[in-house]
Amino acid sequence: MSILNVEHLTHGFGDRAIFNDVSFRLLKGEHIGLVGANGEGKSTFFNIVTGKLMPDEGKIEWAKNVRVGYLDQHSVLSQGMSIRDVLKSAFSYLFEMEERMNGICDSLGTASPEEMDTLMEELGTIQDTLTMHDFYVIDAKVEEVARALGLLDIGLERDVTDLSGGQRTKVLLGKLLLEKPDILLLDEPTNYLDEEHIEWLKRYLQDYENAFILISHDIPFLNSVINLVYHMENQELNRYVGDYDHFQEVYEVKKAQLEAAYRRQQQEISELKDFVARNKARVSTRNMAMSRQKKLDKMDVIELAAEKPKPEFHFKYGRTPGKYIFETKDLVIGYNEPLSRPVTLSMERGNKIALVGANGIGKTTLLKSILGLIPSLKGSCELGENLQIGYFEQEVKGDNKTTCIDEIWAEFPSYTQYEVRSALAKCGLTTKHIESQVRVLSGGEQAKVRLCKLVNKETNILLLDEPTNHLDVDAKEALKQALIEYKGSILLICMNRSFTAMWFLRYGTAVNGLQKYYNNWYMKGYYK
C-alpha cells in the first residue's frame, strides 16, 4: 500500500532549480536512505512533502489518516519549556481528543436517541485511540523514553534552551518516538549524538516496523538501517535497491555506461556532420547528405551532467608557536554549576587530539573556556606564545542575510572578487551558491562557507567543534585529508567514529596525549 505519492514535482529558488519533474512513491515498511551532495535539495524535499513549502508544480498525496513524524536538522525549542513539557507535547493531539470526549459526555444528557448512537460510536472510537496510544500511562512512557536516551540523568525539569546540541537532538528524537507516527522523516539524526545513543537509534530503526526516510551522511549508520536508496542529483531522484555501498557500485557502473554511450554517440555525430558537410553541395550525393542530416535532427542526444566541483581544503600554517599551546591549572568549567572536577592538563605543540565523550559532558564548554569565550568557575587557563588560533564553532545562530561573497570579503578585505570566488569554489560551492545569501544554503553548504574562512587564514592551532556535521561524503573525506596534512596542532571534538578513527591510527602521540587527558578528565556523569 502506498503511503506517499509525489508526482511531477518541480521546484526552485529564483533561477536555481532544485527538482525537475520528480516522482516518488513510499510503500509501507520501506526503510529509505535519501542521499546526495550538499545543496541537492534533500531537506527541501522533506519541507515540501510535509507542507512547509509549496512546490512550483506537482502533486503530493498522503494516504488517509497517516501520521508523519519529522525530525528537522534546524528545529528550534522554545525558551521556558522543560524537557518533560517537550516530551509530553508529543501527546497534544490525544489531549485534544480527551477534551472532545469530555464534551461528548456533557452533551449525552440532552441528546436525542439518533444523536446518542452517533455520539456513543464516536466516544468508543476516541477511547480506543487513547488506549492504543498509551494516553493513560503518558508519564510512564515519557520516563521510559527519557531513560533510554539518557535524559533522566539531565533532569526532566531542565529548561531546553540550556541544553547542548546533542541533548536537544535527544529531546526532539524522544518526542518523535513518543508520537508513534506511521512514517518517520529523519534529517541528519546522528548529528550531535554521542556513540552510545547512535547505537541505540540504530537498533531502534533496525526493528522499526513502519516506513521511514532518512537523510544522513554517516555511511556506516546508513548502511546498517536502510534497504532502499533514493539518490538526488541534477534535479532528479533515482531509486536503487540495497544499502549505500551497493548503490555506489551500481551508480559507478551506470555512470561508466552513460559516459561510454556518450563517447560513441559523439563519434557518430562527428562522422555524420563530416559526411553532410562534404556531400551536401554535390548533386549526386545531396540525397544521401540530406538523409544523414535527418538522422542527426532526429537523434536523441545524450547529455552528461556538469561535473560538480569537489571540495578541497588546505589549511595554511602560520609561524611556529611556543612549546605549550595551553596549560590549565585546577580548571573547573560550567555555567551555573560545575561540569567537571578541577582539571590540570596541557597541550604541546604538534599534538593532534580528538576529544570524545557523552552529550552534555562539557566538551564544547571546555573548548570555549580555553579560548576565554566562557569564564571558568575556578582555576586558570594560560595560552601559549605566538598562537594563531583557528576556531570552528559547532553552531552559529542567527539569520545571516549576507551573500557568501560578502561573508568572505568581510573576513579578507584585500581579496579581489576573483580570489573570493576561487576560494569558495575550492570548498565545493557553485556560482549560484556563491551569489546566494548564506541563510538560504543547506547546513552543509553553510559549513563549507565557514571552513572557507578557516582555510584561508594562517593558523598554528585548530580548535574544531563537530566540523563534520552536515558535510557530505566528499567534503568529509577532503577535510580528513586536510587535517592529516596540517602541520599545526589540532584539538578536535567529533562524534563521527569513522572520522576520529584516523587520529588513533595515524598519530601515536595523540593517543598517548588523549589517554593522559582521559586520566585527568572528571566530567560529571562520565566516571561513575
- 63, 187: one domain: yes
* Residue at 45 is within a domain: yes
Query: Any idea what the CATH number is for the domain that residue 342 is in?
Result: 3.40.50.300
- 250, 334: one domain: no
Which domain covers residue 208, as residue numbers? Answer: 1-77+166-255
- 478, 381: one domain: yes
Number of structural domains the chain divides into: 2
pLDDT tens for 435-494 read 888 888 888 889 999 999 999 999 999 999 989 888 888 899 899 899 989 999 998 888
- 353, 424: one domain: yes
Residue 426 has pLDDT above 70, yes or no: yes
> What band does 505 get if pLDDT is binned at 50, 70 and 90?
very low
* Residue at 410 is within a domain: yes
Alpha carbon distances (Å) from 517 to 330, 344, 355, 391: 13, 9, 9, 20
Note if the pTM is more than 0.95: no
Rounded Cα distance, 29 and 498, in Å? 29
Rounded Cα distance, 427 and 37, in Å? 13
pLDDT tens for 262-281 read 899 999 999 988 988 888 88
- 234, 349: one domain: no
Average per-residue pLDDT for the chain: 84
pLDDT tens for 377-397 read 888 899 999 999 999 988 776
* Residue at 286 is within a domain: no
* Residue at 379 is within a domain: yes
* Residue at 395 is within a domain: yes
Query: Residue 522, SS3?
Result: coil
- Domain boundary pick from 255, 270, 303: 255
Which has more confidence, 222 or 195?
A: 222
pLDDT tens for 21-68 read 899 999 888 999 999 888 888 888 988 998 888 988 999 999 887 888
- 244, 332: one domain: no
* Residue at 331 is within a domain: yes
Query: Residue 78, SS3?
Result: coil
The C-alpha R_g of the chain, in whole angstroms, comes to 28
- 334, 204: one domain: no
Rounded Cα distance, 152 and 145, in Å? 9
- 178, 247: one domain: yes
Q: Give me 40's grid cell.
A: 541537492
- 52, 196: one domain: yes
Rounded Cα distance, 502 and 360, in Å? 24
- Domain boundary pick from 202, 237, 255: 255
- 398, 251: one domain: no
Rounded Cα distance, 277 and 267, in Å? 15
Q: Give me 420's grid cell.
A: 573570493
* Residue at 398 is within a domain: yes
- 245, 322: one domain: no
* Residue at 439 is within a domain: yes
- 349, 212: one domain: no
- Domain boundary pick from 212, 235, 255: 255
